[in-house]
Amino acid sequence: MLKHLLLVLLSLQLLRAGAAQTCPEQKEAIKILRQVQKLLADHESSYLRELKSLSRRLARLGGAVSRGDSTASSFPENCPPLKPPRHGRKLGVQKTPGHQVHFLCDLGYQLTGSETRTCLENQTWSGQAAACTATNASSLRPAKCSSFHSAQQCTCDPGFLIQPGALCQDIDECSLYQDKPGSKICVHECVNSPGSYRCVCPRGYVLDPVQNSCQDIDECVAEPSVCTGGHICINLFGSFVCVHPECPKPKANVTYIKTSGHQCERTPCLVGSGSCSEAPHSISFHYLAVQSQLSVPRVLFTMTAPQSLGDSQRFTITKEKGARGLQVRQAGRHRGELVLSRSVSGPAELQVDVEMAESSGQKLLGRHIFTVTVYVSQYPF
Ligand SMILES: [Ca+2]
């Protein structure tokens, strides 16, 4: 509204100035004023529509309340969520009646269906589902021909094949190579174009034109940070995650304090408190990003004691969540390794708690917990 008011003021200013100006400038000022009038009219009708919709919904809510209808709490009624089209984007998140969402397609794709859809009073969307289809640019063009001694010779530009009738047919490299196993020319998606083709990467990646591969974008280097409220940014392949490791809540006489963003230490135990001295000394949090379908076996993480007190350390998995394929193995007296033993298809999140028990002879000196979260990306790159 403020924007429109400013526009009106600006146009009035222009009109005032226009009074003393030349004819073309006056015409320009009148044109701007008309545009502003149209904007205001659009705004007014949209405002009235929303007001009417709100009043109808209030009336419905009033009726439902007086009937004692418990479903009235579902006010306001929303339209079902709409997904962005494949190879495109959706702008707008509101799903209440009167609101609109818009659809855009990536480069090389054309929108079919409705570009704009409005959430209607009956909680359905206006228009047709939006879809993005590859632009079918002209694949046939005339050949370059020359005559010599009444013999005609025709040639085509690179990327085209000569056809009868002095025509050049585009070679569809994507269907020729990309769709066949063992001859992929793009790591993700191939888009054919007249005389050539290009590789397209999914969101979260940028195309490396030299290698024709998709490189992950490190969102965590952005300023200001993409994570707020003291959360730590972890860059993943194709995305990122904001984490906030929490120490265990105080229980009986065991309390932990955070000694760094990724580490909790147990506070000293009271004399004679057996349960406290048996609790882990430290808990550290580790976040690993891996690609989908990694070749296995693969060492993901190595664990060593912060300061080795005892003769040996023993490593065991004490807790796991969706972590099939993660194993721990001893890699020396003071070292343990977390190994991925089974290839995992992403997107997936695996979590394990690995306990490291330090002992001297038969005596247990202390326990440390490594909480490891493995984020498996959607793609193998
Ligand atoms: Ca990333």
Query: Can you name the CATH fold of 140-200?
Result: Laminin (2.10.25)
Give yes or no for a contact between 168 and 140, defined as CB atoms under 8 angstroms apart.
Answer: yes
Measured in Å, residue 262 CA sits from the centre of ligand 1 at 20
Measured in Å, residue 380 CA sits from the centre of ligand 1 at 14
Structure tokens at 29: 């000022």
Determine whether 353 is exposed, middle or buried from the number of CB atoms within 10 Å of its CB (0-12, 13-18, 19+).
middle
User: What is the rounded distance in angstroms from the CA atom of residue 137 to the CA atom of residue 192?
Assistant: 9
DSSP output for 302-346: EEE-SS--SSEEEEEEEEEES-TTEEEEE-STTEEEEEE-S---S
pLDDT for the residue 177 = 92
Q: What share of the chain is helix, strand, coil (3-state, %, to 5)?
A: 20, 40, 40
Measured in Å, residue 247 CA sits from the centre of ligand 1 at 27
Measured in Å, residue 237 CA sits from the centre of ligand 1 at 5
Measured in Å, residue 179 CA sits from the centre of ligand 1 at 27
pLDDT for the residue 80 = 93
- Coil vs helix vs strand at 37: helix
Give yes or no for a contact between 172 and 178, defined as CB atoms under 8 angstroms apart.
Answer: no
Measured in Å, residue 339 CA sits from the centre of ligand 1 at 23
Measured in Å, residue 219 CA sits from the centre of ligand 1 at 5
Contacts of 76 (CB under 8 A, 6+ apart): 57, 96, 97
Measured in Å, residue 221 CA sits from the centre of ligand 1 at 10
**Domain assignments of the chain as residue spans, ordered by start:** 76-134, 140-200, 232-376
Measured in Å, residue 337 CA sits from the centre of ligand 1 at 26
Structure tokens at 224: 């200001």
Measured in Å, residue 218 CA sits from the centre of ligand 1 at 4
pLDDT for the residue 39 = 47
pLDDT for the residue 244 = 96
Measured in Å, residue 241 CA sits from the centre of ligand 1 at 9
pLDDT for the residue 202 = 95
Measured in Å, residue 364 CA sits from the centre of ligand 1 at 42
Task: Give domain 232-376's CATH superfamily.
Answer: Cadherins (2.60.40.60)
Measured in Å, residue 373 CA sits from the centre of ligand 1 at 16
Measured in Å, residue 248 CA sits from the centre of ligand 1 at 29
Give the torsion through C-alpha atoms of 233, 236, 238, 240, to 10 deg: -20
pLDDT for the residue 306 = 63
User: What is the rounded distance in angstroms from the CA atom of residue 378 to the CA atom of residue 3?
Assistant: 42
Q: What's the CATH number for 76-134? A: 2.10.70.10
Note down pLDDT in tens along the chain; length 381 residues: 444 444 444 444 444 444 444 554 565 556 545 655 754 665 576 566 666 666 766 666 666 556 555 544 445 588 999 999 988 899 888 888 888 999 988 766 778 899 999 999 999 999 999 998 876 556 788 899 998 888 889 999 999 999 988 889 999 999 999 888 889 999 999 998 889 999 999 999 999 988 889 999 999 999 889 999 999 999 999 999 999 999 999 988 899 999 999 999 999 998 888 788 889 999 999 999 999 999 999 999 999 876 666 778 899 999 999 878 899 999 988 889 999 999 999 899 999 999 999 888 888 888 999 999 999 999 999
Measured in Å, residue 85 CA sits from the centre of ligand 1 at 22
